[in-house]
Structure 1
Amino acid sequence: MIIKAAQDAGFLKNYKVRVPADLDGVTTVDTAREGAAARAGLRPADVEAIWTAVQDLYRSRAFPGISFCLRRRGEVVLHRTLGHARGNGPFDVRNAPKTPMALDTPVCLFSASKAVTAVLVHKLAEEGGLDLDQRVSHYIPAFGQRGKQDTTVAEVLAHRGGFPQIRVPRAEKRVEILLDWDGVIDRICRAPPTHPRRMAYHAISGGFILAELIQRITGASVQSYLDTRFREPLGLKHFTYGLPLQHRDTAALNYAAGQPVRFPLSSIVEKVLIVPFEQVVESSNSAAFMDAVIPAGNLYATAEELSRFFQVMLDDGCWQGRRLLKTETLKRAVKPKWRIALDGSLMIPMRYSEGMMLGANPVGLYGPASRHAYGHLGFMSILGWADPEREMSCALLTTGKALLGTHLITLGKLLATLSDRCKTG
């Protein structure tokens, strides 16, 4: 591994992005779509404060590229990018030339893909295709092996399915195993539960089972189901699992950044993601990764597209007068499933609905006083969420994969600024 070798040699003790003093040259603004702050119930000073906080996040030097979109009261308040989609990484293994991050640059959402996959399952339940409270083994008989026979679809959605990791022998630990769909489903079905009835984040495993349910019940691919229910009605250019060949030259590359991930964090990350941190980053830029369908981890989108998706949820399931989700479907998708508790995989307190990571008070994933917010985090600081209390839907897409570093401080300040400037009343 190139990055790992460089770390071992001491070249990457704290690797950061080069940031110019004047950010205008690395900034793109969607002047055609950004609306007046007043129509969104904000003052120009509010918008400026939020954008300054995004710029400060870029100045943390952890992210080669950032794409950001904020809607409030349905109005696009900010849709901008900073930095580069390719090149200017802290350790550019491809020596890629600097390519600016464009407004339509597709970015891998990683685990933020889970929110979309979960909504697809809720949509299928709305259509009568499956019962969320039914056992998974009712639809996938082989899943009922070795103590998993009573696990319900709802429990999988809420990270209580009991199979948070795909069990892989150390000699086989590589991202390529995820390209064998039938093999992954077989591994999950044959494995005994490791966390029965306990909350433990299903980083990769749950998405495969949920998508398999969609495919078995509809007879179509999970991508086809996504296309017909959301991608096409919303008029989205990307929003695909994996990335078609014609868009790969414009896709944002991912880069390892920040402090090197060392033990014990490295072991926790590897346990959750199957393979070491650096291998995930490198593999995510490969053609094989973009060929694959990884329902919990490789949906590609722009920040505006992800914000649009959450705006539909905020607008009671409607988009431009067309209903895409019923009210009762949305209520169930975002309703807290259990109280906040220690997650057995992430080893931090978490709060989930059936498919969403939820905010919390006094401070949560989406900032201070975010108890009503819902959405999902992606590897490592990708965020897509809606906050009904603040009437906002937001997407923050980043290409630097940094677990530790000063960027965490500026990210916290950005979320606090959003919470403060978009509060109602």
Structure 2
Amino acid sequence: MLSMSLLPPRLRLFPRPDSPARADRGREAPAARGGLPEAAIDGIQRSLERVHATGMSPGVALALRRHGELVFDRALGFADPQAGTPLTVDTPICLFSASKAVTAMLVHHLAEQGQLDLHQRVSHYLPEYGQAGKHRTTLMHVLTHRAGVPRIREPVSPEDLFDHERIMTLMCRARPEKPGRQQAYHAITAGFVLGEVMERVTGETVNQILDRVIRQPMGMRYFRFGLGDEGLPPAKNAATGLQLPPVDLFLKHAVGGGLQEVVTLSNDPRFQQVTIPAGNLYATAEEASRFFQMLLDDGQYQGRQLFRPQTVRLATGRTGRGGRVDRTLMLPLEFSPGFMLGARAISVYGPGTPNAFGHLGFINIYCWADPDRALSGALLTTGKGLVGPLFPSLLRLQHRINTVTRL
């Protein structure tokens, strides 16, 4: 009998549809208003169908704005495949790490209002954070993933994520590695620090600040950390693709847990009730693209200035350090104070996107804006898998979008 270790790894797929899945559509503007032919929209739809047809994502949602017009807002598949609940354009989906862009803009807002100084030491606002060699760490270091604490090295469990006081205790006594000098993606840790700083200086919760600064002014239904008890149930995430030990090793290094562990945690009702500033903002694809369109419009939404143009430029601009190989992700990547930046060649937004900015979320979430294409968008997927047919199909979709929207 073969040892289980010698058996080939299992490819986790959801049943592929016999015909293209029916898309739920939002209130789309005519393609011509976004400067696109209908054929371009049809091509994007076909590429989205191919993403879903891989069987690696039970649900996919895509929203695109061109020249500020919502020309594409569609969802395919299931929010809950076991219950047979369809995914709609109104179903909230967890953005995971794309939440960081929103948290960063809240920090920039408080700096704009004079309540924070981005070059001030974190310990000025959180005195207890200045221990174990972190006394020189600034807010700018935290925003650009140079705070030196990309992960908590003490033993932690998934339960700790629901215990804010314990997480902050662990963060405060953590010893940093090359703070201020080395870029290493902080998957979860930096968000707790930024959230605590904001709450200390304002006396408000992170969600209250978000509600006041962005959610209410932009008329968002969801767009909050956790979900509360209102609205539709969120889409459930699923671990898919080849389940390989190296994948889990990488994910444990980068985000602190293996694939199935993170997916199980994200489907836990408690995860939907707490505030995790680096990882649990819930939104629809349309809401996420609306947020990035506001940034593309220099912080303005429907005639109201939510952020000053110079604040948006600071938040999304280059720091002068250039792209480096990130010591967590082991990829060449440049960060602004809050966003992942594009590049001419190797870019998370595809080749030829030097001025794009946005953020990826756990494996296959993708929210961005590209001024060179007058484009803002959000691709939200519920399938979480690194190895399998999904990634090539996502690259083809990205290429299709970038090609048809090039100015």
Structure 2 length normalisation: TM-score?
A: 0.96
Alpha-carbon distance change, 195 to 278 in structure 1, aligned in 2, over 3 angstroms: farther
Q: 1:374 aligns with which of 345, 353, 357?
A: 357
Using the alignment, how far apart are the partners of 1:127 and 1:266 within structure 2?
42
Q: 1:327 aligns with which of 282, 296, 309?
A: 309
Using the alignment, how far apart are the partners of 1:178 and 1:9 within structure 2?
35
* CA deviation string 1:240-273 (max 9, x = no partner): 11111234x621000000111312x322211222
Q: 2:209 aligns with which of 193, 201, 225?
A: 225
Structure 2 residue 131 is matched with structure 1 residue 145: yes
Alpha-carbon distance change, 55 to 210 in structure 1, aligned in 2, over 3 angstroms: same
Alpha-carbon distance change, 288 to 10 in structure 1, aligned in 2, over 3 angstroms: farther
Partner of 2:230: 246
* Aligned partners of 2:63 and 2:377 also within 8 Å: yes
Q: 2:34 aligns with which of 26, 32, 40?
A: 40
| 1:47-126 alignment runs, 5 A limit | 47-87=41-81, 96-126=82-112
* Aligned partners of 1:367 and 1:415 also within 8 Å: yes
Secondary structure, aligned partner of 1:288: coil
Using the alignment, how far apart are the partners of 2:132 and 2:346 within structure 1?
39
Letter matched to residue 206 of structure 1: A
Using the alignment, how far apart are the partners of 2:380 and 2:5 within structure 1?
29
Alpha-carbon distance change, 22 to 326 in structure 1, aligned in 2, over 3 angstroms: same
Identity of aligned residues (%): 43
Partner of 1:277: 259
How many residues are aligned here? 402
Letter matched to residue 160 of structure 1: R
Query: 1:45 Cα shift?
Result: 1.4
Letter matched to residue 167 of structure 1: R
Using the alignment, how far apart are the partners of 1:8 and 1:422 within structure 2?
47
Secondary structure, aligned partner of 1:296: coil
Using the alignment, how far apart are the partners of 1:165 and 1:102 within structure 2?
35
Query: 1:125 Cα shift?
Result: 0.4
Alpha-carbon distance change, 168 to 245 in structure 1, aligned in 2, over 3 angstroms: farther
Partner of 1:13: 10
Structure 1 length normalisation: TM-score?
A: 0.92
* Aligned partners of 1:261 and 1:277 also within 8 Å: no
* CA deviation string 1:295-331 (max 9, x = no partner): 0011100000000000100011111111100011001
* CA deviation string 1:285-304 (max 9, x = no partner): 11111121110011100000
* CA deviation string 1:333-380 (max 9, x = no partner): 011122111111111111110000111112411112011100000011
Query: 1:105 Cα shift?
Result: 0.3
Partner of 1:216: 200
* CA deviation string 1:273-294 (max 9, x = no partner): 2222211101111111112111
Partner of 1:420: 403
Letter matched to residue 19 of structure 1: R
Which has the higher mean CA deviation after the structures are superposed, 217-226 or 236-245? 236-245
Using the alignment, how far apart are the partners of 2:236 and 2:343 within structure 1?
32
* Aligned partners of 2:316 and 2:337 also within 8 Å: yes
Letter matched to residue 253 of structure 2: K
Using the alignment, how far apart are the partners of 2:109 and 2:399 within structure 1?
33
| 1:139-288 alignment runs, 5 A limit | 139-169=125-155, 173-196=156-179, 197-247=181-231, 250-263=233-246, 265-288=247-270
Secondary structure, aligned partner of 1:51: helix
Using the alignment, how far apart are the partners of 1:271 and 1:400 within structure 2?
20
Which has the higher mean CA deviation after the structures are superposed, 282-291 or 226-235? 282-291
* Aligned partners of 2:59 and 2:382 also within 8 Å: yes
Which has the higher mean CA deviation after the structures are superposed, 301-310 or 364-373? 364-373
* Aligned partners of 1:163 and 1:195 also within 8 Å: no
Using the alignment, how far apart are the partners of 2:268 and 2:229 within structure 1?
12
* CA deviation string 1:74-97 (max 9, x = no partner): 10110000000001xxxxxxxx31
Alpha-carbon distance change, 287 to 11 in structure 1, aligned in 2, over 3 angstroms: farther
Alpha-carbon distance change, 9 to 52 in structure 1, aligned in 2, over 3 angstroms: same
RMSD: 1.6
* CA deviation string 1:370-404 (max 9, x = no partner): 11100000011101100011001000000000111
* Aligned partners of 2:248 and 2:257 also within 8 Å: no
Alignment gaps of 5+ in structure 2: none
Structure 2 residue 360 is matched with structure 1 residue 364: no
Structure 2 residue 6 is matched with structure 1 residue 23: no
